[in-house]
Amino acid sequence: MTIHKEGYKSIAIGVILFGIINIVSFYFMSSSLPIISLLLFIATLGLLLFLISFFRIPNRKLTIEENGIIAPADGKVVVIEEVQADEYFTDRRIQVSIFMSPLNVHVNRNPVSGEVVYNQYHKGKYLVAWHPKSSTENERHSVVYKKNGKEILVKQIAGALAKRICNYLQAGQEVKQTEEMGFIKFGSRVDLLLPLDAKVHVKIGDKPQGGVTTIATW
């Protein structure tokens, strides 16, 4: 396991705060209120470990599949439905949505190899990630990949806790499947808009692993 670069600053701040709080607690509370001091240490240690865990990159054998669309994120499949596309595409698409809790790995990965033909950031609201309108009204970053004449759209969507979407891609860039596309801080969701002829291999409630699980084939 390694720590993602997006976490270096946050973890450093967390370590400093952990040290300050517990040094102050030791000098001013440990003798008179030892139980409170101990509980404070346990609570702050738990928060620090959570912060470190949030930015983890686990060691995994990533999936490379020529005709596969690989999960761009860890999480839980909460939507599989046919929708009318509201961005870039004008046709109907299959939407697969993956909800990412704060406990999930938050690295986002390219679901396919190919060319990035569209890359757009949208300002928006911070509705809870499972809200039906979060896909169209929340802050989000949309990327369209083109491979062998076919295209898919991936949306990184902010939520009530997610206040920063990082995206590392540029339009015109050639990318490889399962390499990093970005990172979302503190829980959200990722939507995929697939062609109608794509064969979906997951169901609602499944818990795919980013870079590992085959979401669909085309």
With a cut of 70, list the residues of the chain below it in pLDDT. 124-137, 160-163, 187
Are 105 and 205 in a shared domain? yes
Residue 63 inside a domain? The answer is no
Are 111 and 160 in a shared domain? yes
Residue 62 inside a domain? The answer is no
CA gap 31, 38 in Å, rounded: 11
Residue 146 inside a domain? The answer is yes
Say what the pLDDT of residue 160 is.
Answer: 63
Are 199 and 112 in a shared domain? yes
188 is catalytic: yes
Which structural domain range is residue 42 located in?
Answer: 2-57
Are 90 and 25 in a shared domain? no
Say what the pLDDT of residue 153 is.
Answer: 98
CA gap 115, 78 in Å, rounded: 28
Residue 166 inside a domain? The answer is yes
Q: What is the CATH number of the domain that holds 131?
A: 2.70.70
pLDDT digits (tens, 9 = 90+) for 35-44: 999 999 999 9
Say what the pLDDT of residue 136 is.
Answer: 59
Say what the pLDDT of residue 208 is.
Answer: 97
Tokens representing 215 are 């979401």
Are 78 and 21 in a shared domain? no
Are 150 and 172 in a shared domain? yes
Are 51 and 121 in a shared domain? no
Say what the pLDDT of residue 28 is.
Answer: 86
- Surface-to-core class of residue 66, CB atoms within 10 Å of its CB (0-12 exposed, 13-18 middle, 19+ buried): exposed
Q: Of 57, 76, 96, which one is at a domain's C-terminal end?
A: 57
Residue 128 inside a domain? The answer is yes
Say what the pLDDT of residue 124 is.
Answer: 67
Q: What total number of domains does the chain contain?
A: 2
